[in-house]
Amino acid sequence: MPLIKAKDNWWWRRARVFGLSALSLFVLGLALSPVERPIWDEVKATQPELNLREVEGALGQGLVIGLIGGFRAIIADFLFIKTNTYWENKDRPNTEAMLNLVTAVDPRPMFFWLNGARMMAYDMPAWEAQEMGGYANLPPAVEKNLKARYAELGMNFIDKAGSFHPNDYRVPLEKAQISINRLEDPAQAAKYYKEVVAMPDSPYYADRIYAEMLKRSGHQQEAYDYLRALYPTLPRDNAMAATNVVLERIRELEDELDLPPIQRLPTQDTEVRPAFTAPSENNGFNLGGSQSKEKTNVGPSYGLPTQDFPQESDSEHDHHDHEHDEHSH
């Protein structure tokens, strides 16, 4: 009997300690909430990488991330190396899964997002096309559908980067590039380029390509107005601003729109030709000739070949060898 009583006491004591402890911690948590909430909101807002809801669907990832804590950077790097082995083997499901894991572990470096989006939008359709006998053997509708499907995948992927890098122009820029290179949709590209040019630190070439996309989507007047407004703001001493190219495009658009001399940009000091030439002398927008040098000046390539950037030449893009669409990393 005394033994049972002692056991009861032991259980009672233990239950009492647990109950009292839980109650104390609960009350403490409740009391600290008003203090903790604003601090946590501030910490969370400045650490977008903590927002892991998007990856909670993937089994166990949240736990892994919580465990690894401060080792995010190096683990993400090693996971990206692993991703590249899948990429080399053209393993679509694993490459995609690993890219999602890498960006879940460390969403801060843009390198992961940009390369991931490019793998999805450019490489994966080429792999699938190869499995089906190559682009050459695919009906155009199937090819278009294939590219559109993976372009959407890449766009959705890079879209997620937007929540971690809201002010990084490279997010809409990548979407714009996919729009024009994969979907061949200049109107959609123009929409994203509009976002790019409105962002801080956006490169000069984005302004020029934005106008070009407007033009290609049939908004010549809008493209002209944009370049007219842009031209006086460009620094003359910065080669990247390419004022001569912008001026040239303004002139071409003036010809194309058949603007009367009074509405045209007055002749500039750098020009050797008059502001007005007869429309018959220049039919349409010359994308071949002088534009080609622009390609060497399209801005940072993030270590990737420039063909990953929207080509300002229709001809080059149209004749691009689809079988070699893959970009190198």
Partner 1 sequence: MSGGSLNRITTIARNTFLEALRQKFINVLVILAVALILSANFFRQFDFGSSELKFITDFGMGSILFFGSILSIVATAQLFFSEIENRTALTILAKPVYRWEFIAGKYLGIFALLTVFTMLMIGLLAGMLSWREGALMERYPDDFAEGRLVSYGGLFAYGVLELLRFGIIAAITMFIASFSNTNLYTVIVSFFVFVICQLQYVARDGWNDIGNPLLRGMVWVMALLFPNFQMFNVAELMIFPGEQTLAAASAWGIFGYGIVYIIAFNALAVLAFRGREI
In the complex, which residues of this chain contact partner 1 (CB under 8 A)?
A: 13-14, 17, 20-22, 24-26, 28-30, 32-33, 35-36, 38-40, 42-44, 46-47, 50, 52-53, 56, 62-63, 66-74, 76-78, 80-81, 106, 108-112
**Closest CB 23 distance from partner 1, rounded Å:** 10
- Report in angstroms how near the CB of residue 6 gets to partner 1 at its nearest: 10
Nearest distance, CB of residue 103 and partner 1, angstroms:
10
| Cβ proximity to partner 1, 106 vs 308, nearer residue | 106
Instruction: Name the minimum Å distance from CB 81 to partner 1.
Output: 7
CB of 64: closest distance to partner 1 in angstroms?
11
Q: Tell me whether residue 70 or residue 266 sits nearer to partner 1 (CB atom).
A: 70
Q: Which is nearer to partner 1, 288 or 300 (CB)?
A: 300
How far apart (Å, rounded) are the C-alpha atoms in residues 134 and 221?
40
Which CB sits closer to partner 1, 51 or 130? Answer: 51
Measured from the CB atom, the residue of 201 and 321 that comes closer to partner 1 is 201
For residues 80 and 112, is the Cβ–Cβ distance under 8 A? Answer: yes
The type of residue at 107 is P
Distance of CA 221 to CAs 59, 64, 229, Å? 52, 53, 12
Shortest Å, Cβ 76 to partner 1: 8
d(CA 21, CA 298): 64
For helices 220-230 and 243-257, angle between their N-to-C axes, nearest 10 degrees = 150
Query: What is the Cα–Cα distance from 257 to 251, expressed in whole angstroms?
Result: 10
User: What whole-number distance in Å separates Cα of residue 55 and Cα of residue 97?
Assistant: 11
Token representation of residue 299:
């801005």
- Identity of the residue, 100 or 188, whose beta carbon is nearer to partner 1 in the bound complex: 100
How far is residue 13's CA from residue 29's CA, in Å, rounded to a whole number?
24
Contact 176, 189 (CB under 8 A): yes
Query: Could you give the angle at which helices 140-164 and 92-105 cross, rounded to 10 degrees?
Result: 10
